[in-house]
């Protein structure tokens, strides 16, 4: 990653992922196995080489729950420094919770609520009010660790799941944030949450396929988990949307999220693609969480540059075109619909330059390949509907209008017609 010209906005230029599953490498005495130590050092070496090849000039290596709880972590740190010349910073639970919250907020237009990050060895929770973190908690409730301890049958039995729920409820009752207040939202980051969102989208025929920004209600979460519980871990590996490395822990991750929703009184949660990684990067740059509109503008600029469709004069002209709609259609200069019209006008150049018939549809295709930071699904749906309407395609716009209030439909259609 590198810092974007807009202060506080991050842009991902290269990324890689490895499933180390270090929680499974800890024995009953909290000793990290030799294989776990060697695997970690190899992973750090691989990521360091990857980052340097991508142009990184400085590296920051952080470790979380599994290494935090390992009694022989000093050995790992010493070997990593000796063999690679890199220092590993071990985050405590509160730091991890805060950084995950910063990263999640960077990617979503949410400023007050509770952010939860379900990892393999622990779960971190932070409360945010008006963009400021006011509390942070860490619990030994990891999807991998809890599944291995409580869900020993394959597939797990209902009795085991009930016992795990009682354990989670008792843990949360001792020290956890209070129920959500009015106006607060629940945000979830981490692999378990994203996997559950993907499965819910497939099962419900949801028109957007990206987890980021998706709002998952508790009933759907429970339905998805009931479906997963009906299969063995090996069978879950064959389910579209479930990665092999998560097949044995996804049920446990879903139970943790469900119990957190019950504890907080949350009827739904919103999925964030960003999390600890983005939080670490932002703290490294010393930047605050920027306003969502700035993040969205930066995301659109990055997408346009990727498609070699960015020109400042042209973009200003297109934004002015959308602004010219305001006197006739939109009274509020800060309207979400006006912002969507401005962004749709800027993005449509991608489809126009592709030469494909239907510039709006071609732009939508490019748009849906990206997890754009700063966008929730409502804003994406507005932009996509406008782009389809700009092609005169009401049928293509229809599924996305279903995600929005009925009062917006006519206005979005008029915006699309005027942008065509």
What does the mean pLDDT of the chain come to? 89
For the segment 201-227, the average pLDDT, to the nearest whole number, is 93
Percent of the chain with pLDDT over 90: 63
For the segment 124-146, the average pLDDT, to the nearest whole number, is 93
Q: How many CB atoms lie within 10 A of CB 162?
A: 12
> What per-residue confidence (pLDDT) applies to 337?
86
Q: Is the pLDDT of residue 215 over 80?
A: yes
Picking from 18-27, 119-128, 242-251, 302-311, which range would have the lowest pLDDT averaged per residue? 302-311
In DSSP terms, 185 is beta-bridged to 113
**Number of residues that this document lists for the chain:** 420
Q: In the block, which residue shows the tokens 């042209």?
A: 314
- Distance of alpha carbon 214 from alpha carbon 199, whole angstroms: 12
pLDDT in tens, 58-113: 999 999 999 999 999 999 999 999 999 999 999 999 999 999 999 998 888 888 99
> What per-residue confidence (pLDDT) applies to 3?
44
Which residues have a Cβ under 8 Å from the Cβ of 205 and sit 6 or more positions away? none
Question: Which domains are present in the chain?
Answer: 2-90 (3.30.420.40), 93-280 (3.30.420.150), 292-419 (1.10.3210)
Confidence of residue 12 (pLDDT cuts 50, 70, 90): confident
Task: Please state whether the peptide bond connecting residue 152 to the residue before it is cis, i.e. omega within 30 degrees of 0.
Answer: no
For the segment 160-172, the average pLDDT, to the nearest whole number, is 96
pLDDT in tens, 19-44: 888 988 988 899 999 999 999 999 99
Query: Which element (helix H / strand E) includes 116?
Result: strand 113-118
Q: Is 268 exposed, middle or buried, given 0-12, 13-18 or 19+ CB atoms closer than 10 A?
A: middle
Q: Which of 78, 381, 385, 341 is nearest to 206 (CA)?
A: 381
Query: Which element (helix H / strand E) includes 118?
Result: strand 113-118
- Distance of alpha carbon 116 from alpha carbon 239, whole angstroms: 25
User: For the whole model, what pTM was predicted?
Assistant: 0.89
Which residues have a Cβ under 8 Å from the Cβ of 345 and sit 6 or more positions away? 318, 319, 321, 322, 419
């Amino acid at each position: 990653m590198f810092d974007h010209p807009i202060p506080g906005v991050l842009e991902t230029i290269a990324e890689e992922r490895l499933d180390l599953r270090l929680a499974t490498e800890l024995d009953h005495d909290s000793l990290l196995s030799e294989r776990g130590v060697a695997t970690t050092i190899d992973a750090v070496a691989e990521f360091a080489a990857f980052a340097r090849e991508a142009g990184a000039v400085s590296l920051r290596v952080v470790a979380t729950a599994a290494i935090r709880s390992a009694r022989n972590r000093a050995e790992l740190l010493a070997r990593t420094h000796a063999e690679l010349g890199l220092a590993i910073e071990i985050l405590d639970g509160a730091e991890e919770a805060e950084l995950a919250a910063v990263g999640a907020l960077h990617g979503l237009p949410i400023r007050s609520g509770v952010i939860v990050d379900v990892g393999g060895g622990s779960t971190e929770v932070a409360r945010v009010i008006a963009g400021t973190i006011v509390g942070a908690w860490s619990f030994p409730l990891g999807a991998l660790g809890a599944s291995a301890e409580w869900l020993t049958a394959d597939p797990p039995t209902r009795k085991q799941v009930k016992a795990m729920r009682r354990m989670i409820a008792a843990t949360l009752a001792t020290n956890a944030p209070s129920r959500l207040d009015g106006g607060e939202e629940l945000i979830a980051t981490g692999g378990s949450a994203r996997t559950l969102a993907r499965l819910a989208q497939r099962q419900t025929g949801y028109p957007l396929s990206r987890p980021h920004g998706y709002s998952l209600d508790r009933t759907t979460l429970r339905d998805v988990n009931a479906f997963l519980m009906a299969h063995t871990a090996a069978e879950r590996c064959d389910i579209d949307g479930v990665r092999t490395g998560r097949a044995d822990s996804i049920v446990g991750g879903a139970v943790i999220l469900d119990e957190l929703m019950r504890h907080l009184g949350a009827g739904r949660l919103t999925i964030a693609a960003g999390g600890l990684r983005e939080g670490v990067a932002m703290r490294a740059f010393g930047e605050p969480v920027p306003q969502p509109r700035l993040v969205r503008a930066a995301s659109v600029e990055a997408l346009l540059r990727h498609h070699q469709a960015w020109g400042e004069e042209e973009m200003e002209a297109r934004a002015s075109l959308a602004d010219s709609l305001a006197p006739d259609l939109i009274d509020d200069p800060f309207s979400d619909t006006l912002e969507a019209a401005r962004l749709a006008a800027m993005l449509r150049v991608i489809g126009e330059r592709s030469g494909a018939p239907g510039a709006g549809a071609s732009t939508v295709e490019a748009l849906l390949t990206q997890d754009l930071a700063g966008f929730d699904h409502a804003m994406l749906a507005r932009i996509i509907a406008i782009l389809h309407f700009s092609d005169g395609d009401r049928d293509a716009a229809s599924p996305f209008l279903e995600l929005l209030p009925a009062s917006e439909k006519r206005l979005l259609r008029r915006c699309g017609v005027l942008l065509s």
